[in-house]
Structure 1
Amino acid sequence: MNGLILYNGNIHTLDEKRPKAEAIAIEGNKIVAIDQQIKNLEQKYLKKINLKQKTVLPGFIDSHTHFISFAKSLNLLDLDEGTSLDETLKKLRAFAKRKNKEEWIFAKRWNINLWKKLVLPDKKILDKISASNPIVVFSKDGHSLWVNSKVLEIAKIDESTADPSGGRIERYSNSHEPSGILKERACDFVYKIIKEPEEQILSQLLKEAFKRARQKGIVGIHDCEDEKALELFESFQKKQELSLRVFMMIPQKNLDEAIRIGYKTGLGNEYLRIGGVKIFADGALGSRTALMFKPYNSEPKNSGVEVNSQKDLLESVKKASQNHLSVAIHAIGDKANHQALNAIEKGNHNKNLRHRIEHAQVLDPRDIRRFAQLDIIASMQPIHCPSDRVMAEKYWGKRSQQAYVFKTLLDSGTRLAFGSDLPLYGFDPLKGIYAAVTRKGENGGNSWNSKEKISVAQAVYAYTKGAAYASYEENLKGSLEIGKLADMAVLSKDIFKIAPDEILKTEVLATLWDGKIVYNDDFLEISD
């Protein structure tokens, strides 16, 4: 096939000079002509696709994922939406019955904040399910673990084990005995002893994860994992099986090694590229470890966890920027965001780098303008907004009015890049767009802090051009223009014209990636 023409479409290009089009010509993996320019090429391009007036957008880019973790999680018990301890234990017992003796039991997305009756979980509860099988339950926010006594024994966590810097081992009151709840860097004790899935199984899971992403119109991801994830993506690229574009973060612990190897932000190609250094300033809202200026409501002794001190943040930013590496600082709480901004302001030694703050969830009003002033990208996850509303109001009170301030950040000149935080939340960009536009959950209800709603165009931009800018690739992707990559999503409705509530009823009909149809080629019927 010499090329491909898509015609009779309702194409939103996101190109300011030519925002709408009806036809696009593709050669190889690039766009070579649009609308009238195609007439000169029709004899050359033998294959055509009638879009039948369906809506086409640039393919979505998820700016914050833990993609390999998502792939691995496809084999885990899912506890999401569990509303009580009894419901959670019922699922765990049924799952445990299918396991062999001493086989590890893993469950994901446990969310104590949804339990209608607050019961503090501990190791003894899990011991009743199995004392011989190690049981590990991952919290939904990814910042806490609930484990049984067997896991504590294998990890060698006991009364004498000190809390690690930036982490907390929860203990029974008036005792040093670990309760079975681990937070932030204390989770590393367990992560170190968990065995990786066999290579063949992991490969199959990753292929399934790629498939699910394509079904959502996703063509690229920014991945916040480690060297093992990078190695896996590299192996898939060598085998030409990498079917998403990956902007790969470097964990803070690997900064010195990355410098030794010579990694720089942007190194790589259009399929796999080195990103910035991922640094944690604090924890998360669900685990009440997000770092706040003032204590959590009803928890007067808890202001969160400072995973990296102000000094450590500054030193990491300095070292990274001096070696041509941008930073991506995880910051949820208002104090964490303040300290992240301080670190970038004082530590950045390379004005060509595009630093970002991941989440930027709740902000001190005095810090909002600093994002634009310092040219820092706010990498945010709009799906968190309705999902976290109850928790934010419960734990932050009036401070929650400064949470997820999409519009205020945009109005101040801040660049936004949107993502999902996969696998903690689902990665459907249309649901993310809906959340940003309505600030409502999928079940409707009232908008939360409605003055922070943004337009569909602004939300789509953050999932496309904004994400491309965050990876230094705005000249390569993020909009449908001549010379850019042919990555597109075909939708069942025009989300720019329909009522916001209709966005949730919109489907991804097909996805094109690298000039090829990679999802639902039955819909995009090719004719000669």
Structure 2
Amino acid sequence: MPDLVLRGVSQPGDTTPSDLHISDGIITQIVPRTTTTHAPTVDLDGRTVIPGLWDEHVHMTQWALAGARIDLSAAASAREALEFVRAQVAATARPTPLIGVRFRDAIWADAPTLRGLDEVTQGHPTALISHDLHCVWLNSAAAERFNVHVDATGLLREQAAFDLTSALGQLPDAEVDALATRAGARAAARGVVGVVDFEMTWNRDVWQRRIAAGFDALRIEAGVYLADLDRAIGERMRTGQPIADTRDLLTVGPLKLLIDGSLNTRTAFCVDEYPLGGHGVLTVSEDELTDILLTAREVGLFPAVHAIGDAANSVALNAFARADFAPGRFDPAAVDGRIGQARATDRASLNERRAAAGRIEHAQFLQPTDFARFARLGVIASVQPEHALDDRDTVELNWPGGANRVFALRSLLDAGATLAFGSDAPVAPLDPFTAMSAASCRARSDGREPWRPDQVITRSQALSASARGRTRLRTGDVADIAVLDGDPFTVCNATFERMPVAATLLAGRATHGAALLAP
């Protein structure tokens, strides 16, 4: 007898409801509604069920912390950002650094200055983190407190910014873990069952601690950064490897390496110069990247290469080609035979990886000849569609001649590439429906015209990219399920962008909407 039957459910596009049987966390049957059963039953009254959603690129601790920080995304200038900060200074206890997030100086007509931030903060340590995490604007008091040097702009960029952002998050573990637990619940409420966490730290141990303390809202694939590669090799870590005593929630994620910067900081490595000069930065040469990819293959770590500029993406693809990463070369199950037996929750992901050489994270700006190379080399385009709408003005200012090659999702699919969707939270909200809507509409419900609408993809394609290649539940799947109050293929655009999620199940266990799912 099944543990639970979800009665009267539909899958996207269905015209007649079905009953979905779950036993031991697995979908054992999907049968016509008329079938009778004596098992515990929940009548879902025609609601739509879809495979549980994944966010393929988050910075989970930063996303958790951002909810308690000043949101500067509405600031249209440095002057406006300073006024936001001025209003917060009096309300923040003096010993506590004042931290803001999500400013976008790339579209400001005026520029950040150290003097301006000093004037409004009056000696209160203040650090403002840009929306892409690649830049921090800080005042003299914060520079002194954290022992960093800033020039007249008050800006730190790239590695110096990453280091300071990490230092700003050094709060007691219990405090940060509580914020992460709340962030996990918010994600589950949006139909999310798992994330690939690229928090810039030795992330495995963090999640072991959180799960031991009770975190159970999501599956976590904990990324490994290049700086920790030797440690990961020494501990014989392999991508896809389940971590013991984590209740089947934690596995080793990809090897993450950054080879260029970002658009907002104008450090993404590009073929053409930026309007203010320079081509951005390439932090890892093609030769070095090739060697790293060869090492990753040898030790069983699936590579995820951060590349945003068109020149950086070409370098990454060249390195994949030189390392002879043909489809089928990476097989985590062959590296660690326990994966197939110990965790069946991610078969689609494993199958995808067996057919892939690696991933390029962002793949934001591409040369025309590079679209087809993603498919030919078996490289997954791990993209964040909401960034297209966040960055549209920045793109038009900084990459005007190549804007038709930015976030070109339709071109990638037409060339045969595989897409994997994420948010890069806190850069964008951890909400797959926000991403899927951006990909299928190229617009928000804010009245602005769609941006580059020739690059829209279908909702079915967007769902596939958010659910690890699936759009429908099947018998034999792990019961990672999102229950929706509407068919995602037929609701209007405004509803799709904010799709109501009635419940989420992880291996048949409710992580959201428990009251609805109670038999």
For 1:432, which of 432, 435, 447 is the aligned residue?
A: 435
For 1:94, which of 87, 90, 96 is the aligned residue?
A: 87
Q: Distance in 2 between matches of 1:509 and 1:193?
A: 38
Contact 1:21 1:34 in 2 (8 A): no
Shift of 1:212: 0.6
2:155 maps to amino acid: I
Shift of 1:195: 5.7
| Residues 11-70 of structure 1: CA deviation (Å, up to 9, x unaligned) | 249xxxx99861111123211111159948x23x1x211111111111111111111111
After superposition, residues 201-220 of structure 1 pair within 5 angstroms as 201-220=175-194
| Residues 305-334 of structure 1: CA deviation (Å, up to 9, x unaligned) | 212222322222122122111110011110
Question: Which is further off, 506-515 or 225-234?
Answer: 225-234
Q: Distance in 1 between matches of 2:162 and 2:137?
A: 13
Q: Which residue of 1 aligns with 2:411?
A: 408
Shift of 1:405: 1.3
Contact 1:317 1:327 in 2 (8 A): yes
Shift of 1:79: 1.1
Q: Which residue of 2 aligns with 1:489?
A: 482
Shift of 1:121: 0.8
Contact 1:137 1:147 in 2 (8 A): yes
Structure 1 residues 196 and 5, CA gap change in structure 2 (3 angstroms): same
What SS class does the counterpart of residue 178 from structure 2 fall into? helix
Q: Which residue of 2 aligns with 1:273?
A: 251
What SS class does the counterpart of residue 391 from structure 1 fall into? helix
For 1:33, which of 8, 29, 36 is the aligned residue?
A: 29
For 1:331, which of 296, 307, 312 is the aligned residue?
A: 307
Question: Which is further off, 329-338 or 78-87?
Answer: 78-87
Runs of 4+ in structure 1 displaced over 4 angstroms? 18-21, 36-40
Shift of 1:214: 1.1
| Residues 158-208 of structure 1: CA deviation (Å, up to 9, x unaligned) | 4xxxxxxxxxx7x45xxxxxx311111122452464461112211211111
Q: Which residue of 2 aligns with 1:163?
A: none
Q: Verify: 1:107 aligned to 2:83, yes or no.
A: no
Contact 2:304 2:361 in 1 (8 A): yes
Contact 1:58 1:489 in 2 (8 A): yes
| Residues 76-118 of structure 1: CA deviation (Å, up to 9, x unaligned) | 1111222233332222123222333343221111122454xx2
After superposition, residues 173-322 of structure 1 pair within 5 angstroms as 179-191=153-165, 193-194=167-168, 196-268=170-242, 270-296=248-274, 298-299=275-276, 301-322=277-298
Q: Which residue of 2 aligns with 1:396?
A: 399
1:343 maps to amino acid: A
Question: Which is further off, 488-497 or 189-198?
Answer: 189-198
Structure 1 residues 480 and 126, CA gap change in structure 2 (3 angstroms): same
Q: Distance in 2 between matches of 1:20 and 1:348?
A: 48
| Residues 340-367 of structure 1: CA deviation (Å, up to 9, x unaligned) | 1111221256812530000101100111
Q: Distance in 2 between matches of 1:134 and 1:20?
A: 60
What SS class does the counterpart of residue 269 from structure 2 fall into? coil
Q: Verify: 1:454 aligned to 2:460, yes or no.
A: no
Q: Verify: 1:75 aligned to 2:68, yes or no.
A: yes
Shift of 1:383: 0.7
Q: Distance in 2 between matches of 1:134 and 1:308?
A: 34
Contact 2:18 2:32 in 1 (8 A): no
User: Structure 1, unaligned stretches of length 5 or more?
Assistant: 159-168, 173-178, 469-477
What SS class does the counterpart of residue 64 from structure 1 fall into? strand
Contact 2:204 2:222 in 1 (8 A): yes
Q: Distance in 2 between matches of 1:326 and 1:95?
A: 43
What SS class does the counterpart of residue 505 from structure 2 fall into? strand
Question: Which is further off, 513-522 or 366-375?
Answer: 513-522
Shift of 1:131: 4.9
2:284 maps to amino acid: N
Structure 1 residues 461 and 440, CA gap change in structure 2 (3 angstroms): same
What SS class does the counterpart of residue 175 from structure 2 fall into? helix
Contact 1:82 1:114 in 2 (8 A): no
1:11 maps to amino acid: Q
Structure 1 residues 4 and 84, CA gap change in structure 2 (3 angstroms): same
Contact 2:423 2:430 in 1 (8 A): yes
Q: Distance in 2 between matches of 1:54 and 1:205?
A: 31
Q: Distance in 2 between matches of 1:131 and 1:188?
A: 25
Shift of 1:226: 3.9
For 1:367, which of 366, 370, 378 is the aligned residue?
A: 370
Q: Which residue of 2 aligns with 1:8?
A: 8
| Residues 498-520 of structure 1: CA deviation (Å, up to 9, x unaligned) | 34344235311222222122212
Contact 1:184 1:307 in 2 (8 A): no
Contact 1:60 1:463 in 2 (8 A): yes
Q: Distance in 1 between matches of 2:468 and 2:112?
A: 43
Structure 1 residues 513 and 445, CA gap change in structure 2 (3 angstroms): same
Contact 1:66 1:421 in 2 (8 A): yes
For 2:421, which of 418, 424, 430 is the aligned residue?
A: 418
1:279 maps to amino acid: L
What SS class does the counterpart of residue 23 from structure 1 fall into? strand
2:183 maps to amino acid: A
Q: Distance in 2 between matches of 1:190 and 1:499?
A: 43
What SS class does the counterpart of residue 154 from structure 2 fall into? strand
2:31 maps to amino acid: D
Q: TM-score, normalised by structure 1?
A: 0.87
Contact 1:107 1:138 in 2 (8 A): yes
Contact 2:188 2:504 in 1 (8 A): yes
For 2:114, which of 123, 126, 136 is the aligned residue?
A: 123
Q: Distance in 1 between matches of 2:281 and 2:111?
A: 20
Identity of aligned residues (%): 30
Contact 2:129 2:165 in 1 (8 A): no
Question: Which is further off, 73-82 or 364-373?
Answer: 73-82
User: Structure 2, unaligned stretches of length 5 or more?
Assistant: 332-355
Shift of 1:276: 1.4
Q: Distance in 2 between matches of 1:436 and 1:424?
A: 16
Contact 1:68 1:229 in 2 (8 A): no
Q: TM-score, normalised by structure 2?
A: 0.88
